Structure 1
Amino acid sequence: MINYVDPSGVHGLNVRTVAAGDSADPHMYAAYPSIDDAPRLNEKLLKTVKEQLDRFGRDASRDADLPHREFNIDWQLAAASDQVIGVRLRIGESVGAGWSESRTTVWYDRTDSRVLDSAALLKDRPALEELASIVRDRLAGPRRETSSRTVKADPGLFDSLGFNPRGDLVVEFDDNQVGAASLGRVAVAVPASEAEPLLSATGARAQRAALKTTSEPGSKLWKEFIAEAGTAKPPAASSQTGSVDCAKAKCVALTYDDGPGPDTGRLLDLLGADHARATFFSLGANASARPEPLKRMMREGHLVANHTWSHRDLTALTDNRITDQLNRAQYAITQTIGQVPALLRPPYGATDDRIASIAAGRGLAVVRWSADSRDLRTADPKVIAKRVVAEAKPGAIILMHDVYRPTVDATPEILRRLREKGYTFVTVPELYGSLGMLPGGTYNSGDSTGWNDLGGPKSSGDTQAPLQRPTTP
């Protein structure tokens, strides 16, 4: 196993996102890091992500009638030092025939500002041939379900190389390259003593960087993990809960998915200047990389909630993988804000009774939305603002994305125009007042019993029901 670096300690790191939108088919979501002082690395990662997205889009268009078409890229830091950075991209996709993953690791040598594919960790062609021979021998061992015959001295086959805490060279293969996808991740660890003669100068730097990231059981970090995991924490709530009675005020909940991103801080500035509160459904991976914006959200009266770890369609996952997506995000967010998220927004809004039941077991209410800004489908902030204002009603839960710059640019207009209509901006649970929100309940919009469909107070003759009551599995 590769021991990955905590991204929150890397100065100047942001998370970039490329997504098709929650209502798009097929589902496509990709995240990758950008680092301020490594522009060439950033360009390479963006190029790689776009190439993979384009390829999947072509494949998916040929199989438009197949179910569960989904594409997802998440990332980890294989190493990060003052000399070298390694970014591992995990690329998953499904077009009707089950989920498969590929892996590629891009390296950046800070000493000469070079971006390198993994094969460049080796010093020359003979070194690549020697590595291929070692890997073939190891794959030909007791794991008969793998095939060593497919291993050639091809740089494209050795596109995901890294190091474990012992300094062993780890060679990762894509699903179906040396064995069936049902095997899961297949990797070979070449002992450090055998690997060292094969390494280039960059490879040696990468190996040294990996040796510095050890987090074995018994270390301080591991002990803190165990201690924190057993410490009870209160459920997450806005520090201003109770300051607005949504049975009397015209309330609307602005919600933002997928962050925190590069523009989340600016969004918080805009919301703060207008004294508006919002609910942020944060991805666990992004929260782990950039914890400070989440702490600021809580200080300023917003609410932080769970949007899973890596933005997978939960309805396509097994129960244990759903649980992993929820638990990893719960832990990352809880460790950051000191409170336990009580709300879950499933990616793409995709949910069912099974997901609601698993969420209930973790104390999570499932939140969808009643108004979709469709912000990811346009680069024009005016269009985004117009859609939000047009769809806003008392009790509305409005879907937006804080990782998308045009959405942040649209925020001042959204706030101004909805204020003019008499709206107050609250977090999602405040829409329900004393009714509260039940773990496992599914919520699309808030209670609007005091308001008619035109956004004005009901007269005594109005009999309109609430926009949405919670449903339970």
Structure 2
Amino acid sequence: MLKRLKWPSWVLFSIFIAGIYYFISSGTDTSLQAFSRTETTSPAAFPGLNLETRTKETTSYTLAISTPITEFENLNKPMKEWTQTQEKDFLELVKANRQFLDSEEFRAHLNIKAEPKKVSDTMYTLVFEAYQYTGGANGQAAVKTFTIDLANQKMVQLADVIRMDEESLTPLRAMIKNQIGEKEELQDYLFDDLLDEALENPSSWKWSLSGKNFTLYFNEYEIAAGAAGAVKVKIPIEQIRPLLKDEIALHLKLPDIQLPEPEVEEPDAAPLDPNGKYIALTFDDGPHPKVTPLILDILKKHNAKATFYMLGSQAQFYPALASQVAEEGHEIGNHSDSHADLSSLGEKGIRKEMEEASGKIKEASGQFPATIRPPYGAMNEDVKKIAGMAHKPLILWSVDSLDWKTLNASAIQKSVKANAVPGSIVLMHDIHKPTAEALPDLLTYLEKEGYEFITVSQLLSLQEQEVTGTFFGKRQ
């Protein structure tokens, strides 16, 4: 008979602790743990849609994922599954490339944005664009579309929109090919056999619908060489009206003709005293439906002007708030369209983020963004080049309120008070309520210290800076 081994209790305890440590360390990559934030908002321009935005920043990677959410789980499920698959694939690549990432001076990045397009009051197409960069010469891009019918609580398929008989599909394919043929930039890269293959099965098409266009999306390499990037084909809705099913034609009633709203003009700024004590307050990531109005009220009470670095997607979701910011005399800056890490995108991706944001901000507020602030403060030579070509200065900050990290009004006040000097640019965010709670006492304190609150452009003009370049503001 075998004798039962008796182990000292301290040995058994040590093995137990070691086992727990091994289980935790093998299942968790501690170097990937860092600050993350999830926030859900309700875009005023798209009733019935909530937008869940999750951002995360670690030593190895950054990510920003926006997912529209409805009250119907059967609509949410396929959208969540797609974004989760993209994130899972990205994190697996990050782990596979860990040694390379740790040896370089950059981080991997995943950005997923969802742009809604209104078909009708109860029907939207959601265009998801995912971009990931984990090293190498180029990143990977992917597009996925979902069209949802809130009234009937269902996903809309292409067969619900277009008559799927060959009598309808043959002219539609011809329209698509004609549009692609007119894109001169594609002609050296297009593969006709791949295009035919992609158009063969309509059920696999990535499409969106609006009152103006039927749009088809092709992923990078799907129909052309990689140098062409992703391809988007727009067909005016009037051209395909005979191919539309009757129910969709009702959804796409043309709106009444409206007179264009007058552009919002920026008020003339009073001359600044070269010896004055000025500070520039800046607010990133908005407009936010709850926090931005609070901040605007506080700034008005203190007769303070500030600069709001808006996301194009947020300006599109909350156009009335973007317009209010401009109407109250504040400056609006470009903070990208979807909070992507611009340094990971390449020139084409950077230009796309900047131009889309600029267009959406102008449409919502009537004001063209005067300056650019790259998300995370991340920039490289490509970012500087694109900003220089646009003649827009890149603006960072000299005082970080750390409101994104502490989410505490007292801590925010303490950080700014300890570091502010004349000529400082203060980083805050108009998406956190504690930031609004910190402002009244903070502005009162700075006023007692003799500060006046001006926009970033005013500060640059006072310091006689050039039109382009990178600026931080003054530090202690």
What TM-score range do you get, normalising by the shorter chain? 0.5 to 0.7
Which residue in the other structure is 2:148 paired with? 108
Shift of 1:440: 0.9
Q: Secondary structure at the match of 2:194?
A: coil
Please give the alpha-carbon distance, in whole angstroms, between the structure 1 residues aligned to 2:117 and 2:443: 46
Please give the alpha-carbon distance, in whole angstroms, between the structure 1 residues aligned to 2:358 and 2:316: 11
Which residue in the other structure is 1:29 paired with? 64
Which residue in the other structure is 1:59 paired with? 93
Q: Secondary structure at the match of 1:90?
A: strand
CA deviations 1:265-317 (Å, max 9, x no partner) are 23323433444432101123332343222221123232111223343444444
Aligned in 2, Cα 1:336/1:315: closer, same or farther, shift over 3 Å? same
Matched, 1:75 2:83: no
Matched, 1:92 2:138: no
Which residue in the other structure is 2:437 paired with? 412
The partner residue of 1:143 within 152, 169, 191 is 191
The partner residue of 1:267 within 295, 303, 309 is 295
CA deviations 1:57-101 (Å, max 9, x no partner) are 343233233456222223333443134222121112121142222
Which residue in the other structure is 1:397 paired with? 425
Matched, 1:364 2:392: yes
Aligned in 2, Cα 1:320/1:93: closer, same or farther, shift over 3 Å? closer
Q: Secondary structure at the match of 2:289?
A: coil
CA deviations 1:361-382 (Å, max 9, x no partner) are 433221111233444446x434
Please give the alpha-carbon distance, in whole angstroms, between the structure 2 residues aligned to 1:303 and 1:12: 31
Please give the alpha-carbon distance, in whole angstroms, between the structure 1 residues aligned to 2:411 and 2:76: 28
Aligned in 2, Cα 1:80/1:93: closer, same or farther, shift over 3 Å? same
Normalising by the residue count of structure 2, what TM-score does the alignment of the two structures yield? 0.65
CA deviations 1:81-135 (Å, max 9, x no partner) are 13422212111212114222222222322333x1427578489xx99xxx9xx99
CA deviations 1:390-445 (Å, max 9, x no partner) are 6532133222332x3xx233322244146336454432234456333321121111
Normalising by the residue count of structure 1, what TM-score does the alignment of the two structures yield? 0.66
Which residue in the other structure is 1:18 paired with? 54
Preserved contact between residue 167 and residue 208 of structure 1 (Cα < 8 Å): no
Please give the alpha-carbon distance, in whole angstroms, between the structure 2 residues aligned to 1:86 and 1:259: 23
Please give the alpha-carbon distance, in whole angstroms, between the structure 2 residues aligned to 1:386 and 1:171: 49
Q: Secondary structure at the match of 1:343?
A: coil
Tell me, which stretches of 5 or more residues in structure 1 are unaligned? 1-6, 454-473
Aligned in 2, Cα 1:19/1:428: closer, same or farther, shift over 3 Å? same
- Equivalence map 1:381-392=2 (5 Å): 381-382=408-409, 385=412, 388-389=415-416, 392=419
Q: Quote the sequence identity (%).
A: 23
Which residue in the other structure is 1:294 paired with? 322
Q: Secondary structure at the match of 1:71?
A: strand
Please give the alpha-carbon distance, in whole angstroms, between the structure 1 residues aligned to 2:223 and 2:269: 56
Which residue in the other structure is 1:464 paired with? none
Aligned in 2, Cα 1:103/1:256: closer, same or farther, shift over 3 Å? same
Which residue in the other structure is 1:285 paired with? 313
CA deviations 1:177-198 (Å, max 9, x no partner) are 67765553367999969976xx
Aligned-CA RMSD value: 4.9
Matched, 1:303 2:325: no
Aligned in 2, Cα 1:363/1:12: closer, same or farther, shift over 3 Å? farther
Q: How many residues align?
A: 406
Please give the alpha-carbon distance, in whole angstroms, between the structure 2 residues aligned to 1:390 and 1:45: 44
* Letter aligned with residue 367 of structure 1: I
Tell me, which stretches of 5 or more residues in structure 2 are unaligned? 1-42, 178-189
Matched, 1:341 2:373: no
Q: Give the number of the structure whose alpha-carbon radius of gyration is greater.
A: 2
The structure showing larger relative contact order (alpha-carbon pairs under 8 Å, at least 6 residues apart) is 1
Which residue in the other structure is 2:208 paired with? 162
Preserved contact between residue 298 and residue 440 of structure 2 (Cα < 8 Å): no
Please give the alpha-carbon distance, in whole angstroms, between the structure 1 residues aligned to 2:147 and 2:384: 41
Please give the alpha-carbon distance, in whole angstroms, between the structure 1 residues aligned to 2:370 and 2:234: 41
Q: Secondary structure at the match of 1:281?
A: strand
Please give the alpha-carbon distance, in whole angstroms, between the structure 1 residues aligned to 2:202 and 2:159: 12
Q: Which structure features the higher share of helix residues?
A: 2
Which residue in the other structure is 1:350 paired with? 378
